[in-house]
Structures are given as C-alpha cells and as structure tokens.
Amino acid sequence: LAAAKTGSGKTLAFLIPILERLYVQKWTRMDGLGALIITPTRELALQIFETMAKVGKHHDFTTGLIIGGQNLKFERHRLHNLNVIIGTPGRLLQHMDENPLFDATNLKVLVLDEADRCLDMGFATTMNAIIENLPSVRQTLLFSATQTKSVRDLARVKLNNPRYIAPHEHEQSATPVKLQQSYVVVTLPEKLTMLWSFLRTHPKQKIIVFFATCKQVKYFYQVFKKLRPANLLLPLYGGMNQEKRNKIYTEFCGKKTNVCLLATDVASRGLDFPKVNWVVQMDCPEDVAQYIHRAGRTARLNTSGENLLVLLPHEEQAMLESLEGNKIPIKQIRIDERQLFSPLVKIQSMLAQSPELKECAKRAFVAYVKSVALMKNREVFQLQKLNLDGYAKSLGLNVTPRVRFLSRVATDRKPTTTACGTGPNSAPGSMKVVLEEGGSEESDDDDDELLRIKRVDHGSGQSDDGADEIQASFGETPAGGTVGATKKRVSKAKMVKKSLIVSKRTVFDEEGAPIEEEGSKASSQAYDINEARVKLQQQDAADKERYKQLKKAKRVAKKEKDRKKKVAPEDEGDDFGSESDTSVNLDWLPDPDKVYGQQKQSASEDESQNSSDEDDQPAAPAKKKRMILSRTQDLSLNEAEQLAMNLLK
C-alpha cells in the first residue's frame, strides 16, 4: 500500500520494479502475462502506457493497452503474446469472459493505480470478478494519493502481510506545498457569471474547470464557444468518442497558455497535465478525496499552482470543516463586483434561436439536480436549499424544467412521494422536485456520473433480467396479461383453459399402429430455460478451457523447441575427442565415388558439347537427322563430296 501526494512520481514507483522483476527472471514473450496494471480511467491508462514505452524502451518486453472504445478483435488475437497489460476494469473483464487466449496463470505482479477509486462501489462487482480469475500467489501493489485503509477492501484484493508506505503521512498538509488553495462563496444563479468573468480576466492562463456532470460540460462548452472568449476551450467527459478524447487530451497537454479544459472527474485522477496554472472546481466535490485529486492537477513535481473552490452558502461550513479535518489549508477570497460580466442576455438570445442549445440547457439543469440528490453527504448537499428557478434562469431558460427521478437511487431516502422546496426552510422560488416510486427517469447513455455499471453481476447467484424475460416467453404467461406471446400461443392457452382438445398430428405405420415421434415426450413437457442456460455456460467454459490448454501446450512446445535450438550448437562438434579413440566414425565424410563420378560425367558431357559446337550448322531435330543420313547413303562418292562443298560454301 503506497500513498503519496499528487504529482510526486507514483507511476515510476511501480513501473521500475515491474521491469526489474521481469528482467531478473528473464521473462520472454513465450512466458505470457507477467504484470497487470489496472486504472479507473482510459486517459490514465494511456498515460501509463506512454510512460512505460519511455522507461522500458531498452527492454524486449511486450506491453499492451486494453481500454474501451478500441477495436476488440484487434486486441483479441494479441493478448497471449503480451508480458505487461495496462487496462481499465471493464475491458479486462470482457476479455476474461469472452477471450480464451487471455491467460493469467503466470502473473507475478498486480498493480491498482488510484486503488481507492478502483475498489469503490462503482467498480466493486467488476473488480471482484477480475481478482477471482487471477492466481492467488502474486505481488499486489496499491497506489493512490488518497489510499484506502478499509479492511474490507484489502480483503477483497487478498493481501497477505500488507505494508503501508506513506512518505508524506506526517507532514502538515496533505496537498503539495506550492499549491495555493482558496475558495469563494457565490449563489447558484451567479455561478455562470462568475465563471465567464474568470475566463475573461485570465486570458493567458492554462485552466482546468471541473463540473459534476457531463451535461454541464456539454452546455457550458457550447455556450462559451459562441461567446468567443480569449481562451481556447476544450471539453473532456466520459460520453465522448475515445478517439476524440485522446485527441483533446493530447492537444491540452501540448498547449502552454490560452487554453481552458472543461471536464468532469474523468480528468481528476492521475493525469499529468503539464504547467497548469489554475484549477477551478465549479461544483462542490463529493468528498475530501475528490477535492485532493482535482486540486492535484496543478502544482505537480514541486511547481506552483492555484486552486479555486466554488461553494454555495449552505455548503461552506460543512465543507470547510471536512477540509480542515484532513489537514488541507484553504482561505476565502472575495470577488470584485466591478470585474463581473454577465452574459445572460446573449445566452437567452442564443437559446431562442437554437432549439438544440435550449434542450442542452434543460439536460444540464436536470443532470445537476440529479447529481446533488444522489450525494451521500446531506450536511453539504441539501437539495431543498437550492434556488432552482434562479439557476434555470441563469442558464437562459425562461421556464424551469420539471425533474423526475426514482427515489431508489437515493439510498437513504424512503420510497414515498415528497416535495422539496415546499417546506419552511426552502429557498424562495425553489422548484418542486418530485420523488416518486414509479416515476420515469430520463435515460441517457453518457450519464456516467451516476456510476451505473451496464454488466451482468458476475459471481452472484441471481439471474439477470434477460433470462427472466426468456423464461416468461417459454413458460406460463405472466400475471396481468399475455404480453409478448404470439396469437397462436394465446389461442392454444384459451382452448386448454376451456378443456378443449387441441389438434395433434399423428403418424401411423404400415399396419395402422400410431408411431410415437422422437422428441414428442420432450416437446410435451415444459422446456426448462434455466437448465439449458446452465448447460450451455458449462459447455462454453469447458470449450474455452480446452482451447486455452491447447494454446498453452503449443506455446510450451515452441518454447522447448527454441531452447533446444539454442543448446544444440554448443553440443554439436567433432567426435575425435570421444571415448572410443580406436574406432573413428567416418560416416560424416562425403562419398568420393559420388563426388568424382559426377565430375567425370560432367567432363565427358562438356567434351561432347565442345565437339558439337565446332559445326556452324545448328543441330537438327532427331527426325530430320535420320532423313539426312538415309539420303546421303544413297549418293555416290562424287555426289557426296559435291554436296559437302555446297554446304561449306
């Protein structure tokens, strides 16, 4: 367990030991997977992969990057040749489930970068399934700036005799020394004006602005892009295409000034952005660990930087107490009202002209309300104190959108219909937010801030919803109707219910006796879909295991063959130094008869060729030669001489 401040070089702290261990053990491509590095985000995995390429360029180890958004088929056929794999939990588990070439039996080192994030509830099921597929005898390394000490988390990773290393544990501050930290208190409707004014007054700076949701990043990027600030604006959030995410990440790293990155917490952990001047946290972080990781994007490796935390009035007291309790020094600053520039009129005009931008504003509003409602710390995040009408108006919306979401996502609330903003403590003009059991929740694929894992619960004994639906289609119709059943099945069910005989096809033999068709007994009985699914899963697992063993045997055979080829030149040599000096084996010498016989034969052929070349006339075919000989035999001596003279002329 290793914990260190942000920007202190934790990546090299686990890459160098990995290279050293594989080098000492003379690890080759034929030995398979030796080290596995798991990170919570794709950008962090890409950064570690690039660092590995620089550090290990003089080694022959093969390293692969396994992240979502890439070509799965391209990765599938190359996994068995990799010595070091760097990837995200979701794609790694997908290869473990579907790719029989993924073999981790020889794994020596497991590394969890940003371990507290990898082991939290968002990745709990995925990480449990991954760890179950890894060998128990291995070295496990956990790295993070906010290291977990939970006994439950350490038991999940199966650590034996763990050692906790924290070089900065006894220092006065949990953040870098050269990081200047400050906070400002603004109301919710003033947030957009405050951010726009900040960008206008800091035109030549490199800035990162953190939001709580992807929808907010989309909206603020589109609005500010139309307002044309002096800074180059770049968005980075979870729902973007992976190729575009990599391009934006590379572009922001290459810029030194006049650039602003609008991002979610996907960019808050581990990413090394060079020379960042400001980090602005527009939305209050979920906890102190999230604050530390956000602020750690600046002031890296003994450089200076500034962090600005934007708090609402009711968030100030509870958040400051949490920060002070974790040795984080922070001071309050005041905003000069003369430096504020409100873009509200221009934004309202843009929303009136663009329906798409108006819908984007509505989605940003709804996403922010959801994020606040889902927070666990109720002392900091109080939904009933939000001035939602004012916030909607600050986004350019004339009418406050109505927000509906399920009460089950808020684990500490009762599943009853309540109304926020109607009590005596509610802020003036607050919107009525409905929490109801059967409400319709707006579905959106890129709402990754809700941490919904779209994967079957691996390792659990519960059946998935898809299997239940399939079983319902084969078995009895569910209560309340016959949804999904065909007309023929419905009609047969009605006939059986009325005790009517359903038509049946009967086949007779030559003697008139009925023939019982094969499978009729099975078809008359109800088909057990659960049993069939279990059998298919067992057969599939057996096939994958057989294929994996076959590949492993081929790899071992090839490795043994290569080893023998290396040893063979050392063992081969002359037999003159053997024990039997009296009888020398000369079978290895060539046969002289064969060698010299071939030379004589070739010499005679050369002589005949030279004699035939003396004549200028080219050799005639065999048939023509016989005809010429037969004609010359019939001629007299004088005629033959005359013919020869003519030929010579």
- Band the pLDDT of 576: cuts 50, 70, 90: very low
Look at residue 185 and give its three-state secondary structure.
Answer: strand
pLDDT of residue 404: 78
Q: Is the pLDDT of residue 60 over 70?
A: yes
Q: Which two tokens stand for residue 329?
A: 């020094």
Residue 111 near residue 35 (C-beta atoms within 8 A): yes
Residue 607 CA to residue 622 CA, distance in Å, equals 21
What average pLDDT does the segment 617-635 reach? Answer: 52
Summarize pLDDT for 584-609 with one digit per residue, the tens.
556 666 666 666 665 555 555 555 55
Residue 590 DSSP class: P
Q: Which two tokens stand for residue 616?
A: 């200028």
Q: Give me the phi and psi of 468, to 5 degrees please.
A: -65, -40
Q: 136-140, 184-188, 468-472, 585-589: which range is least confident on average?
A: 468-472
pLDDT of residue 394: 96
Compute the C-alpha angle 621/624/625, nearest 5°.
80
Compute the C-alpha angle 77/81/83, nearest 5°.
135
More confident residue, 523 or 74: 74
Residue 608 CA to residue 613 CA, distance in Å, equals 9
Average pLDDT, the chain: 79
Summarize pLDDT for 161-180 with one digit per residue, the tens.
888 898 877 788 889 989 99
Summarize pLDDT for 22-37 with one digit per residue, the tens.
999 999 888 889 999 9
pLDDT of residue 150: 78
What average pLDDT does the segment 80-99 reach? Answer: 92
More confident residue, 475 or 61: 61
What average pLDDT does the segment 94-103 reach? Answer: 89
Q: Which two tokens stand for residue 47?
A: 């950064």
37-to-48, 115, 123, 142, 271 alpha-carbon distances in Å: 9, 11, 15, 10, 15
pLDDT of residue 167: 84
Nearest one of 236, 232, 223 to 258, comparing CA atoms: 232
The one-letter amino acid code at 66 reads I
- Band the pLDDT of 539: cuts 50, 70, 90: confident
Nearest one of 315, 253, 252 to 282, comparing CA atoms: 315
Look at residue 603 and give its three-state secondary structure.
Answer: helix
Q: Is the pLDDT of residue 437 over 60?
A: no
Rg value, the chain, Cα: 40
Residue 131 DSSP class: H
Residue 236 CA to residue 240 CA, distance in Å, equals 7
Nearest one of 314, 295, 312, 313 to 304, comparing CA atoms: 295
More confident residue, 80 or 427: 80
For 494-557, give the DSSP string.
HHHHTTPPPP---EE-TTSPEEPPTTHHHHHSPP-HHHHHHHHHHHHHHHHHHHHHHHHHHHHH
357-to-1, 226, 236 alpha-carbon distances in Å: 47, 11, 18
More confident residue, 642 or 67: 67
What average pLDDT does the segment 479-485 reach? Answer: 41
Q: Is 114 left (phi over 0), alpha (psi -120 to 50) or beta?
A: left
More confident residue, 426 or 348: 348
- Band the pLDDT of 511: cuts 50, 70, 90: confident
Q: Is the pLDDT of residue 46 over 70?
A: yes
**Exposure b/e, 50-75, CB count within 10 A at least 16 = b:** eebeeebeeeebbbbbbbeeeeeeeb
21-to-25, 52, 80 alpha-carbon distances in Å: 6, 15, 20
Q: Is 258 left (phi over 0), alpha (psi -120 to 50) or beta?
A: left
pLDDT of residue 596: 62
Q: Is the pLDDT of residue 246 over 80?
A: yes
pLDDT of residue 549: 83
pLDDT of residue 20: 96
Residue 22 CA to residue 173 CA, distance in Å, equals 37
Q: Which two tokens stand for residue 476?
A: 């009895």
Residue 136 CA to residue 29 CA, distance in Å, equals 22
Q: Is the pLDDT of residue 89 over 60?
A: yes
Residue 149 near residue 169 (C-beta atoms within 8 A): no
Q: Please state, for a pLDDT cut of 70, what percent of the chain lies above it.
A: 72
All structural domains of the chain, each given as residue ranges with its CATH number in brackets, are 2-156 (3.40.50.300), 172-410 (3.40.50.300)
E strand or H helix that includes residue 307: strand 305-311
Q: Which two tokens stand for residue 158?
A: 């199966």
pLDDT of residue 475: 38
More confident residue, 78 or 359: 359
Look at residue 604 and give its three-state secondary structure.
Answer: helix
Q: Which two tokens stand for residue 594?
A: 């064969």
Residue 606 CA to residue 258 CA, distance in Å, equals 86
pLDDT of residue 264: 96
- Band the pLDDT of 275: cuts 50, 70, 90: very high
E strand or H helix that includes residue 86: strand 84-87
Burial zone of 200 (CB within 10 Å; 0-12 exposed, 13-18 middle, 19+ buried) = middle
pLDDT of residue 601: 56
- Band the pLDDT of 216: cuts 50, 70, 90: very high
More confident residue, 500 or 620: 500
Sheet-wide strand order for 418-420: 404-406, 433-436, 418-420
pLDDT of residue 526: 54
Residue 366 near residue 442 (C-beta atoms within 8 A): yes
Residue 95 CA to residue 79 CA, distance in Å, equals 9
